[in-house]
């Protein structure tokens, strides 16, 4: 294994959750820890890549030799990702982007004046789809976290989002996936499928980066 497989390749990773503001003190978010994305950033830097990590709010330190762009909302993450187009050869979408955001963020803290309340939500942009449809399209990898019908949904996303590769993750199994230290995945491409057995996220990240590098270099040549 050539440890400098991605020497000087420009690689962008999105990681962590996004936060969608309801008012100045409240937001909608999810349980993503960012661990998998940060592990990938670190493994890609080890492989020689120039890594930009677009990160939602996490408690993780920025890995060595990685440039981090901090974002809060899906809209911010989308903007930061689009700004990387043209200087990005590989894009890995590992973030757990909120699918919806409140239609309006209230200017002031909302008071509990009523017995019930409604929050009107609107769809967020699909960042990885926007990247894969861009005229300066990088080699694009997505993740599919599912609780059922994992491979069928993952292949559907690979096709619908026009990805080069998708990493399928069974989040019904609590020993892997969200917040866990271990992960086990199946990697799907248009014409292949490969399992990576359960192991620590850092070790898995190294294997994933190796697979991504091989596919990327195949497409290049
Ligand atoms: O459709 P779903 O959210 O399951 O797709 C997951 C993949 O799409 C992940 O790679 C995730 O980072 C990416 N995604 C995105 N922008 C969104 C929603 C998902 O980039 N708004």
Which ipTM was obtained for this model?
0.97
51 annotated ligand binder: no
**Which residue has its alpha carbon closest to ligand 1 atom 9?**
143
Once rounded to an integer, what is the mean pLDDT over residues 15-36? Answer: 96
pTM of the model: 0.95
Whether the predicted pLDDT of 56 surpasses 80: yes
Catalytic position from the list 2, 30, 124, 181 = 30
- 111 part of a folded domain: no
Annotated catalytic, 30? yes
The CATH number of residue 197's host domain is 3.40.50.10300
Pocket around ligand 1 at a 6 A CB cut-off: 14, 74, 93-95, 97, 124, 126-128, 142-144, 157
User: What is the band of 2 on the pLDDT scale with cuts at 50, 70, 90?
Assistant: low
Domains in the chain: how many in total? 1
Task: Evaluate whether residue 18 is within a structural domain.
Answer: yes
Mean pLDDT value of segment 137-150: 95
Has 126 been labeled as part of a binding site? yes
Residue 112 lies in a domain: no
Is the pLDDT higher at 154 or at 3?
Answer: 154
The answer on whether 178 is annotated among ligand-binding residues is no
Q: Which residue has the tokens 């000087």?
A: 8
Sign of CA dihedral 202, 207, 208, 214: positive
Distance CA 92, CA 104 (A): 30
Task: Indicate whether 97 pLDDT > 90.
Answer: yes
How would you classify residue 193: left for phi > 0, otherwise alpha for psi between -120 and 50, otherwise beta? beta
Task: Measure 157 CA to ligand 1 centroid, in angstroms.
Answer: 9
Domain span at 33? 10-98+118-220
């Amino acid at each position: 294994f050539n440890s400098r497989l991605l020497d000087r390749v420009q690689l962008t990773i999105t990681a962590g959750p996004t936060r969608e503001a309801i008012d100045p003190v409240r937001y909608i978010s999810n349980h993503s820890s960012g661990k998998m994305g940060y592990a990938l950033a670190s493994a890609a830097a080890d492989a020689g890549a120039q890594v930009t990590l677009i990160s939602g709010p996490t408690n993780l330190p920025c890995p060595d030799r990685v440039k981090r762009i901090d974002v809060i909302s899906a809209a911010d993450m989308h903007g930061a990702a689009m700004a990387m187009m043209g200087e990005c050869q590989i894009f890995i979408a590992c973030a757990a982007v909120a699918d919806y955001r409140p239609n309006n963020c209230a200017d002031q803290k909302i008071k509990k004046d009523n017995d019930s309340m409604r929050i009107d939500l609107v769809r967020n942009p699909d960042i990885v789809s926007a990247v894969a449809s861009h005229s300066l399209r990088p080699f694009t990898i997505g993740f599919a976290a599912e609780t059922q019908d994992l491979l069928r949904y993952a292949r559907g996303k690979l096709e619908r989002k026009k990805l080069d590769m998708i990493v399928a993750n069974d989040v019904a199994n609590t020993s892997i996936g969200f917040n866990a230290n271990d992960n086990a995945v199946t990697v799907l491409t248009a014409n292949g499928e490969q399992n990576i057995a359960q192991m620590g996220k850092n070790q898995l990240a190294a294997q994933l980066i190796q697979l991504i590098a091989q596919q990327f270099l195949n497409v290049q040549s």
